Amino acid sequence: MQRFLFRRAVQTVIILAGLSVLMFTLLVVTPGDPVELLAASDPNIQPEDIKGLREYYGLDDPLYLRYKKWLTATVFHGDLGYSRTYGQPVRKLIGDRLKNTVTLLTAAFGIALVLGVIVGIYSALHQYSLSDYTITIFSFAGLAMPVFWQAIVFILLFAVWAPWAQIPALAWLKFPAGGMMTPGVAGGAATIFDRLHHLILPTLVLGTHGMASWARYTRSSMLEVVRQDYVRTARAKGNPERVVVNKHAMRNALIPLITLVALSIPGILNGAVLTETVFSWPGMGLLLFQAVLGHDHAVAMAALLFFALLTISFNILADIAYAIVDPRIRYD
Amino acid sequence: MAQQATPREFAADLARRRREASGAAAGLTYWQIARRRFFKHKLALIGAIVAIGLSLMAIFASVIAPFSFERISLDTRWVPPSFPHAFGTDELGRDVLTRIMYAGRISLTVGYVTAVSIAVVGSLVGAVAGFYGRFIDSVLMRTVDMLHAIPTLPLYLILAALIPGGGVTRIVLIFTVFGWTTVARLVRGQILTLRTQDFVEAARAMGASETRIILRHLVPNALAPVIVAATLTVGGAILAESGLSYLGLGIQPPTPSWGNMLQRAQEYLWNASWLAVFPGLFIFITVLSFNFLGDGLRDALDPRLKL
Amino acid sequence: MQIGVRIGAVAVCLALVGLTLPATGAPAQRDTLVIGMAQEPDILGEFSIMVAAGVIHNTLWGFIAPYTEKWTRVPQMVEKIPTIKDGDWQLLPNNKMRVTWKLKRGFSWHDDRPVTALDWRFTYGMLRNPQTPQVSRFILRKVDNILVPNPDDPYTLVVQWNELWPFANTSPFGNQIVYPRHILESAYLKDPTKLKAHPYWRAPVATGPYKFVEWVSGSHIMLEAYDKWPLGKPAIKRITFRFILDSTVLQANSIAGTVDGTEVGNFSVDQMVEIEQRNPKVATHYTEALRWERIDFNLDNEWFKDKRIRQAFAYGIDREAIAKALSRGKQPVAHSWLAPRHPAYNPNVKKYPYDVARAKALLAEAGFTPGPDGILRDRSGKRFEVSFMTTAGNSGREQYQVIVKEQLKQVGIDIRIDNRPASVFLGDIAPKRQYPHLAMYTTVFSPETTGFDRFHSSQIPSPQNNWEGNNRVGWRNAEVDKLMDQIIGELDEAKRIALLKRQQEIFAEELPSLPLFFGLSLTTMRKDVRNVKPTGLSGTYLPWNAWQWAFGEQ
C-alpha cells in the first residue's frame, strides 16, 4: 500500500507539472494582451507608459522565462503570485473563494448523492413499473437540460415570480435571485439563515444534475446485486424483504459507487462554473472564468491547478477506499 | 480452450460462447441478439425515432422550412406563436421555427461530428496504447490522466479564447482536443483484455502485420463500448456547445445554433418567453433522445459494461 | 389518495417553518440603499481601470470640481474655479502657465485629519513617479511642479504648467481626487513599485460623504455616512453596492425589488423598458450621454480610400429605422461625433438619409458593376465582399450587424460578419488597425474632449510609433490637422467651439467613420428616493450627489 501511494504521489507531481506547462503556454499565447486593453480604455496613454507597464508585469519576457519565474515562485516560495485584476495576493483571493465553492459543492453533492441513491434504489426495486419509468425520465431530464438554462428558469420561477410567496407564511419560499449573502444582516441565527436562503437555489440547480447520474448508477448497481445468489438465499431463508434489501443488497450495491465519486467530481466542477456565473456566487468557478477571460494568469494558473489537485486527490482516495472495502483488490 | 486455432475459428468460438452466456437460442448471431434486446427497451426505441426525426428535419431544413432564415422584418418583431409563425418571431422579425430547423443543422452537426472524431481519435489512441503496451501505453495514459484531471469547461474556455472564429469546425476541434480521453480508456481496456487471447497470437504467427492485427481483429471487438460512448457524446457535445455559447465563446451569431439562440433569448425572457422555450426544448429533447438511445445500446450490446 | 395526504402534510410543514423563522434581510429598512452593478471593481483608487470603481469613487471621495447634471463644473473642495479673468490662472511667456487653487476648509479624511494642499502635492508626486503603476501620465507630463508656497497656509496650491492646456482649471493636474499623505507616504517612499499592493487600495480612507465599511469580494462593498461631510450630513445612513455580474439576473433583482437602483448594469433599452413595466416602484433614467457608436472604415484599404464608397455606405444603411427599432427611438442617429448636448455640437453638418438609389449611383461612379449573383464587382472584377467586425457577445451590436447586412445586400454589397471577444477586439484589433474593412464600437467622450488623438494625422497608430494614438481609421486631412493644432492650445472656449464645429463639417463631408448613434446612459432608482440626478457623463455616475439623497416621495 505504501509503495502504491508513493507511486501515485510521483505520478501526481508529473501530471501537475505537465499540466502547468500546457496551461501556462495556452494562457500566454492567447491574444488580448491585458496591457493593450488598458491602453485602449484610456486614450491618453503614451508609449512610455505602455512600455513601463509591460516591464512592470513582465509581459515581454520570453515564454520559458515567464514560466520559470512562475514555477520558482510557486513551488519554492509558496508565492502564488499577485492578481493583476484584483490587486490582491492570489492566495488570499483563492482562500475566500474556495470556502464559497466548497460550501456550494458539498451541499449540491450531498443532495445529489442522497436523493440520487434513494431514488435509484427505489427505481431498481420497482423495475419496469410506472414509477420506474417516471423516475428514469426525470433523471435523464435532469441531465439533458443546460445548466445555465435551468438556473435562469429557477431564478424566474422561485425568485421573481413565486406567486405562492404572497401567502405570508410561505414568504420565505421566495428565494434571493443570486448572490451569497444579504449585506448588513447581522447576528448568528439571522446570518446562518440568510446564507442558507441564498444557498438553496444554486444547490438545487447543481444538485438535480448530479442526482440524475447517481440515480442511474445506483439503479444499475442495485439491479445487478439483486440478481445475485446470496440475495436469493437471504430471501429463501425467510427474511422480511426490508432486511433483505437493507442488510444484504444495498450494502453491496453501494460499494461500486465509491469509485464513481471520483469520476463525478469533474462533472460537478463544470456545472459549478456555469451555476456560479448565473447566480453571481463568488466561488472558484466564477473566479476561474473571469481570470481566463481577463488574462489574469496568476489567478488562472492557481485555480486550474487547484481543480486538478482536487480531481486527482479524489481519484486516489477512491482507489484507496475501493481497496479497503473490497478485500479482493490489492495494490502493490 | 482450443490451442492454435485459426483466427476465424476462434472468432466463431467466441461468438458461440457469447450466445450461450446470454442464454439465447442456438443459431442467432451476436448482433441479432443485441438487436432483439434493443427493441425491448421502449425508451431507447423512442429515442432512436426522435433522433432520426430531428436529423431528417435538419437535413431537409431548406426544403421544409416555412420562411427564409435570414429574412428580417422590423415590423413583425416579437410575434407570439400563431399563424403563420408557428413558433413566433424573434427580436429581428425572423421566423423562429425556421431558425430552429437551421440551428438544428448546426447543433446536430456539432454533435455528430464531435462524436465521430472523438470516437476515431480515442479508438486509435486507445488501440495503440493497449496494443503496444509498456512505454507508449504509459505515456499515453499519463496524458489521459493529465487531461482528465481538470474539468473540461475551463479548458474549453482557454481554447475558445485562443482560437478565433465562430464556426462548427472550431467547436468540434475544441471538444475533440480534450474529449477523446474517455473513449481511449475504454478502448485500451478492451484491447488489453482481448490481446491476451490466443487468436492474436495465431494471427501473428500467420505473419499478419501489427496494423492488420489492430485494425482487423482488435478494433471490431472493442467497438461496442465505443458505439455507446459516441452516442452519448452527441448529447454531451450539444449541451457543451450551448454552455460555451452562453458564455459567448461558442457558435457566433448570425449563424444560428440552439445554444446561441438560448443565450440571446435571455434578454427577452419576460416579454417573449417563447424565444427561450423552443431552443431549450429542442436541446432537451435531442439530448434526452440520444441519452435514451445510448442507454438502450449499452443494455443491448453488453449489459455488464460499466460505463 | 395517499399522495394527496402526503402533499398536504408537506405544505403544512413548509408553512409552519415559515412562521417560525427570523425575518430575512430584505431591504425594507429605510436606512440602507442597495445599488446593483454588473461589474465588480478590481481595486479602488487611482490604479483601477474599471468603470465600477469610478462609480464607488463618486461616493467615497470628494471631488475638486465635479460635473453636475447640468454638465457644468461646480467647485466642491475648492473655493472657486480659477479663471484667466480673475488672475488665478496666469499665462506666462513660452507657453507656460501658473494656476493657483484655494482649497476649501472643512474637508477631512475619514479618520478625521484635515485635507490639505500637502496631500495634493503628495498625490502629484506619487502619480508622476514612473515607478508607480499609473496608467496615463498624459496630463501629468504637462505639469512641471506643484508648490505649497506658504507653509503656514496649507490650503493654497500653485500648479506650474509647461505647456498650454485648455482645461487647466478643471483640476490641479488632471486628478479630481486626492490621496492621504499620512497613510501612503511611507510605503511610497520605501518602494513605489509595490505601492499597488498596499492594503489601502482595498479599504480606502477617503474624503467623501460616505466612508468605507467592508468589501466582501464577489458580493458587495458597503459604505456608511460620514457625518463630518461639510456639504451636509447624508440622510441615507448606508449605501451598499452589490455585484451581480449577469445583467439578466441583475434585471430580475431590479424587478423583484431586491436592489433599489442600478448603475453600470449593461442593460439594453429593451431590458430597461421591461423593468419599468414590471416594477412600478422603480424609475428608469434614459440620460443623454457622450457615447459615440460608429463604424470605422479602414482608410488604407483600396476601396475605402475612396470617399464615394464611404458615402455610399452611409446612404445604404437606414440608420433611422434601426434606431427606432432597436432602441425604441430613444437613441438618436448620429451625423457627427459630438452628441447634441455637447457644447460644440454642430447640427448643420452634411446628413445622409437612407437612399438606396443614391448609394448605387455613387458605387457605379466609383467603378462598380453588378455581378451575376446580385453582388457588385469592382474595376478589377473582385467581388465586393466586406468584412464587418465588432465585439462578440453584445446583442445590440450583433442585431445591428444583421440588419446592416440585409440592407446592404440591396445595394449589392456582401457583408461578412466576423466578431471577436471584447478583450481581443478592443485590446488588439481595433487599436492596431487589424480590421480589414469595417469595425464597429463605442467611444465615450467628455465635455473636455478635443479629438486631437482621434483625428490628427500624427496620431495614427503604427508599429513605428509603438501604436500610440487613436486615429485608427488612418485619416490624413491637412485642414483638420491645422484645426486640431489650434484647438489643443486654444484657451478661449467660444473660439474652441467654433473650431470644433468647423472640424465636424469636414468630418461629415469626408466621413472617415460612419456615425451610427449616440448611446444613452441607463440607470434606475426607486421612485421614493429624492434628489437623484443622473448626469450621463462618464466619471460622474449616479451616486455623484449621494449625500443629497433622502427617502421620501419626490
Q: How far is A294 from chain B (nearest CA, A)?
A: 10
Alpha-carbon gap, residue C326 to C422, rounded angstroms: 21
Q: Chain B: residue nearest A305 by CA?
A: B150
Across the interface, whether the CB atoms of A190 and C25 are under 8 A apart is answered yes
Q: What is the pLDDT of residue A84?
A: 67
Do residues B181 and B129 touch, judged by C-beta distance below 8 A? Answer: no
Q: Chain C: residue nearest A189 by CA?
A: C22
Across the interface, whether the CB atoms of C242 and A33 are under 8 A apart is answered no
The mean pLDDT value for B97-105 works out to 91
**Amino acid identity of A304?**
L
The mean pLDDT value for B290-298 works out to 85
Q: How far is A319 from chain C (nearest CA, A)?
A: 36
Q: What is the pLDDT of residue C421?
A: 75
Q: Which of A171, A197, A170 is nearest to A182 (CA)?
A: A197
Q: What is the pLDDT of residue B29?
A: 62
Q: How far is C402 from chain B (nearest CA, A)?
A: 7
Write the CA distances from B112 to A277, B166, B236, C136, integer angstroms.
28, 18, 11, 51
- Within the 222-281 window of chain A, which residues sit less than 8 Å (CB to CB) from chain B? 256, 266-267, 269-270, 273-274, 277
Alpha-carbon gap, residue C523 to C536, rounded angstroms: 9
Write the CA distances from C132 to A294, C161, C191, C468, integer angstroms.
22, 22, 9, 21
Q: What is the pLDDT of residue B73?
A: 81
Strand partners, C225: C210
A57-61, B284-288, B289-293: the lowest-pLDDT one: A57-61
A163 to chain C, any CB pair closer than 8 A? The answer is no
B255 to chain A, any CB pair closer than 8 A? The answer is no
Q: Which residues of A touch B158 (CB under 8 A)?
A: 23, 26-27, 30, 292, 300
Q: Is C376 helix (H, G, I), strand (E, B) or coil?
A: strand
Alpha-helical (H) ranges within chain B are 7-21, 30-40, 42-59, 61-64, 96-132, 134-148, 152-162, 168-179, 181-195, 198-205, 210-212, 219-246, 258-265, 274-301
Indicate the residue of A48, A88, A277 with minimum beta-carbon distance to C246: A277
Phi/psi zone of residue A249: left (φ > 0), alpha (ψ -120 to 50 degrees), beta? alpha
Using one digit for the tens of pLDDT, what is the confidence trace for B10-29? Answer: 777 777 777 666 555 555 56
Q: Which residues of C touch B268 (CB under 8 A)?
A: 270
Across the interface, whether the CB atoms of B269 and C248 are under 8 A apart is answered yes
Across the interface, whether the CB atoms of C321 and B92 are under 8 A apart is answered no
For an interface test with C, which of B69, B70, B72 has the most C Cβ atoms less than 10 Å from its Cβ?
A: B72
For an interface test with B, which of A13, A138, A140, A218 has the most B Cβ atoms less than 10 Å from its Cβ?
A: A140
Residue C223 CB coordination number (10 Å): 26
The mean pLDDT value for A246-268 works out to 72
How confident is residue C482, by pLDDT bands cut at 50, 70 and 90? very high
How confident is residue B218, by pLDDT bands cut at 50, 70 and 90? low
A26 to chain B, any CB pair closer than 8 A? The answer is yes
> What percentage of chain A carries pLDDT values higher than 70?
83
B167 to chain C, any CB pair closer than 8 A? The answer is no
Q: Chain A: residue nearest C218 by CA?
A: A282
Residue C145 CB coordination number (10 Å): 13
Strand partners, B128: none
Which segments of chain A belong to CATH 1.10.3720.10?
93-325
Using one digit for the tens of pLDDT, what is the confidence trace for C434-463? Answer: 999 999 998 888 888 888 888 999 888 888
Q: Which one is predicted more confidently, C28 or B149?
A: B149
How confident is residue B212, by pLDDT bands cut at 50, 70 and 90? low
Q: Chain B: residue nearest C272 by CA?
A: B267
A88-97, C80-89, C386-395, C489-498: the lowest-pLDDT one: A88-97
Write the CA distances from B94 to B91, B106, B275, C36, C381, integer angstroms.
7, 17, 11, 34, 34
Q: Identify the chains in contact with C, defined as 3+ C-beta pairs within 8 A.
A: A, B
Q: Chain B: residue nearest A11 by CA?
A: B142
> What percentage of chain B carries pLDDT values higher than 70?
85
pLDDT surpasses 50 at C377: yes
A160 to chain B, any CB pair closer than 8 A? The answer is no
Alpha-carbon gap, residue A269 to A284, rounded angstroms: 9
C417 to chain B, any CB pair closer than 8 A? The answer is yes
Alpha-carbon gap, residue B231 to B112, rounded angstroms: 9
Q: What is the pLDDT of residue B297?
A: 83
pLDDT surpasses 80 at A30: no
pLDDT surpasses 80 at A59: no
A86 to chain C, any CB pair closer than 8 A? The answer is yes
Tell how strand C282-297 and strand C513-526 pair up.
antiparallel
Q: Which one is predicted more confidently, C475 or A160?
A: C475
Q: What is the pLDDT of residue C122?
A: 93
pLDDT surpasses 80 at C20: no
Q: Identify the chains in contact with A, defined as 3+ C-beta pairs within 8 A.
A: B, C
B246 to chain C, any CB pair closer than 8 A? The answer is no
**Amino acid identity of A259?**
T
Q: What is the pLDDT of residue C21?
A: 53
Q: Chain A: residue nearest B161 by CA?
A: A30
Q: Which residues of B touch C389 (CB under 8 A)?
A: none
Q: Which residues of C touch A299 (CB under 8 A)?
A: none
Across the interface, whether the CB atoms of C256 and A185 are under 8 A apart is answered no
Do residues A41 and C134 touch, judged by C-beta distance below 8 A? Answer: no
Across the interface, whether the CB atoms of C392 and B166 are under 8 A apart is answered yes
For an interface test with A, which of C423, C443, C456, C468 has the most A Cβ atoms less than 10 Å from its Cβ?
A: C423
CATH architecture of the region A93-325 = Orthogonal Bundle (1.10)
Across the interface, whether the CB atoms of B151 and A27 are under 8 A apart is answered no
Across the interface, whether the CB atoms of B254 and C405 are under 8 A apart is answered yes
Q: Which of C382, C421, C376, C405 is nearest to C301 (CA)?
A: C382
Give the cell for residue B78: 416579437
Residue with cell 416579454: B271
* Residues contacting residue C484 through CB under 8 Å, at least 6 positions apart: C450, C451, C452, C455, C456, C503
Do residues A122 and A130 touch, judged by C-beta distance below 8 A? Answer: no
Indicate the residue of C25, C431, C454 with minimum beta-carbon distance to A182: C25
A69-78, A116-125, A255-264: the lowest-pLDDT one: A255-264
B250 to chain C, any CB pair closer than 8 A? The answer is no
Indicate the residue of B151, B283, B291 with minimum beta-carbon distance to A140: B291
Q: Which stretches of C367-471 are assigned E, i.e. beta strand?
A: 369-370, 376-377, 385-389, 414-417, 438-444
The mean pLDDT value for C230-245 works out to 91
pLDDT surpasses 60 at B66: yes
* Phi, psi (deg, nearest 5) at residue C287: -100, 135
Q: What is the pLDDT of residue A45?
A: 57
Q: Which residues of B touch C399 (CB under 8 A)?
A: 91-92
Q: Which residues of C touch A170 (CB under 8 A)?
A: 14-15, 18
Alpha-carbon gap, residue B174 to B163, rounded angstroms: 9
> What percentage of chain A carries pLDDT values higher than 90?
0
ipTM score here?
A: 0.74
Give the cell for residue C174: 488632471
A289 to chain B, any CB pair closer than 8 A? The answer is yes
CA C440 from chain center: how many Å? 17
Indicate the residue of A29, A146, A156 with minimum beta-carbon distance to B243: A146
Q: What is the pLDDT of residue C476?
A: 94
How confident is residue A41, by pLDDT bands cut at 50, 70 and 90? low
Q: Which residues of A touch B276 (CB under 8 A)?
A: 149
**Average pLDDT value for chain A:** 77
Number of A–B residue contacts, CB under 8 Å: 117
Using one digit for the tens of pLDDT, what is the confidence trace for C112-126? Answer: 999 999 999 999 999
C276 to chain B, any CB pair closer than 8 A? The answer is no
Q: Which of B131, B257, B146 is nearest to A304 (CA)?
A: B146
Q: Which of C185, C167, C179 is nearest to C120 (CA)?
A: C179
Do residues A116 and A218 touch, judged by C-beta distance below 8 A? Answer: yes
* Residues contacting residue A269 through CB under 8 Å, at least 6 positions apart: A105, A285, A307, A310, A311, B151, B153
Write the CA distances from C459 to A49, A172, C299, C434, C502, integer angstroms.
16, 59, 14, 16, 20
Across the interface, whether the CB atoms of A183 and C255 are under 8 A apart is answered no
For an interface test with C, which of A33, A35, A38, A45 has the most C Cβ atoms less than 10 Å from its Cβ?
A: A45
* Phi, psi (deg, nearest 5) at residue B88: 85, -175
**Average pLDDT value for chain B:** 80
CA A2 from chain center: how many Å? 29
Across the interface, whether the CB atoms of C406 and B248 are under 8 A apart is answered no
Q: Which one is predicted more confidently, C67 or A82?
A: C67
> What percentage of chain C carries pLDDT values higher than 70?
94
A144 to chain B, any CB pair closer than 8 A? The answer is yes
A28-37, C115-124, C216-225, C451-460: the lowest-pLDDT one: A28-37
